Amino acid sequence: MALDPTDFTKCCKNSGVLMVVNCRKENSALKECLTAYYNDPAFHEECKMEYLKEREEFRKTGIPAKKRLQKVPTSM
């Protein structure tokens, strides 16, 4: 049975200090998942294009993406 990457988070929350010992299996599954994405050229290209798009927008507006995505309160 393949583990869901969120299983590591759940295991850590439930294990507390003993997470190092209790969550080895979940940690290994998470590492495998992350390594698969890290080594995927298509994913790397997608991340690069997203970064370049955000950088271009920042250079135009001077506003970071996080600030642009926040709701602006309306005036009365």
Query: Which residue range forms the structural domain that includes residue 58?
Result: 7-63
- Domain count across the chain: 1
Q: Report if residue 69 sits inside a domain.
A: no
Residue whose entry in the numeric block shows the structure tokens 């393949």: 2
Rounded to whole angstroms, the Cα distance separating 12 from 22 reads 8
Residue 40 has pLDDT above 90, yes or no: yes
Q: What pLDDT sits at residue 52?
A: 96
- pTM greater than 0.75 (yes/no): no
Q: Report if residue 2 sits inside a domain.
A: no
Q: What pLDDT sits at residue 44?
A: 95
Q: Cα-flanking dihedrals φ and ψ of residue 72, to 5°?
A: -95, 130
Q: Report if residue 13 sits inside a domain.
A: yes
Residue 41 has pLDDT above 80, yes or no: yes
Residue 1 has pLDDT above 80, yes or no: no
Pinpoint the alpha helices (H) of the chain.
6-15, 19-22, 24-38, 41-61, 65-69
Residue with the bigger pLDDT between 73 and 23: it is 23
Residue with the bigger pLDDT between 73 and 64: it is 64
